[in-house]
Structure 1
Amino acid sequence: MKNVRFLVQGALIAAIYAVLTVAFAPWSYGPVQVRIAEALTILPAFTPAAIPGLFVGCILANIFGGNGMIDIVFGSLATLLAAFLSYKASKKWLVPIPPIVVNGIVVGFILNYLYQMPLVATMGWVALGQFVACYGLGYPLMMGLEKYKDRIFKV
């Protein structure tokens, strides 16, 4: 039963991430982006199923993004690393930091390569967009889910 719950939670997170990213496509892709779905990067604080869920969701979203294999592979691996580091965060307020830093660096490099924009600019814009999504949307989501975590993320 535990394995089924893990699989279902991961699949639901992947689907929600992908749908939110594609639904808000004008804000989700490009050199300046705020992925609404990045608010979900707080979920590893509640369940380890969020780690593969966010990774698979990001792969699916990046397939639709139009930035090619470099974004599908490296952008998604950045999300995997950030999700793992968020899972390991020792305090709740630290949970959103890994997606901001990891994506700021990795996706910043990807966008620098794809759009030939200055590296500092692409890293800065990605990190700012991540900050808005992760602390502006994700942190309040985390505080709201905290009350219901035993019912929603039962292991």
Structure 2
Amino acid sequence: MNKKTLYLTQAAVIAAIYTVLVFVFQYSSFGPIQFRIAEALTVLPYFTPAAIPGVTIGCLLSNILFRADILDIIFGTLATLIAAILSYVLRFNKYLVPIPPIVVNAIVVPFVLKYAYFEADPIPLMMCTVGLGQLVSAGIIGMILLFALEKVRYVIFKNN
């Protein structure tokens, strides 16, 4: 398989898995106290650059399919893109890979919640609740995923 086809296939599969995870766990994927299981996939830039468009498109599709506000569609997706790029940049130290999704979402998402959904909670409180959800999904579950995939990385992510 040529590299371009492999890249597109990996990105598409990651986007699809992200979207399905948001669908299955939609009850906890939105709101001021959000725990988006799909955010565990934000560690995948450690393995392949195809994860950058993969998680970004997955986030975009999820937000569109679940009728998120336009501000959420734009800025939530942009936050995911920025976090994925930063995770890729930090891929040389696997322990740093989940930090960008935690920090970027903890900063961006509360403003989206406040101005798109008129959430009454104060922004600093939402930074804590969103950050905590990200810590669990990207930091803990994501790192479990990273360590599990690291054992089979040359089978799944060959040519990267």
TM-score, normalised to structure 2's length?
Answer: 0.94
Q: Does the Cα contact within 8 Å between 1:111 and 1:117 map onto a contact in 2?
A: no
Q: Name the residue aligned to 1:75.
A: 76
Give, as a single letter, the amino acid of the residue that structure 2 aligns with 1:151. V
Q: Name the residue aligned to 1:144.
A: 148
Q: Does the Cα contact within 8 Å between 1:112 and 1:122 map onto a contact in 2?
A: no
Matched length = 155
- Structure 1, unmatched stretches of 5+, are none
Q: Does the Cα contact within 8 Å between 1:86 and 1:96 map onto a contact in 2?
A: yes
TM-score, normalised to structure 1's length?
Answer: 0.97
Q: Name the residue aligned to 1:154.
A: 158
Q: Name the residue aligned to 1:111.
A: 113
Q: Does the Cα contact within 8 Å between 2:102 and 2:139 map onto a contact in 1?
A: no
C-alpha distance in 1, partners of 2:52/2:143?
Answer: 17
Q: Name the residue aligned to 2:124.
A: 120
What is the RMSD computed on CA atoms of the aligned residues?
0.9
Q: Name the residue aligned to 1:98.
A: 100
Q: Name the residue aligned to 2:65.
A: 64
Of the structure 1 ranges 18-27 and 107-116, higher mean CA displacement relative to structure 2 is found in 107-116
Q: Percent identity?
A: 54
- Structure 2, unmatched stretches of 5+, are none
Q: Does the Cα contact within 8 Å between 2:80 and 2:105 map onto a contact in 1?
A: yes
Give, as a single letter, the amino acid of the residue that structure 2 aligns with 1:133. S
Q: Does the Cα contact within 8 Å between 2:43 and 2:142 map onto a contact in 1?
A: yes
Query: Are residues 1:87 and 2:93 paired?
Result: no
Which structure shows the higher helix fraction? 1
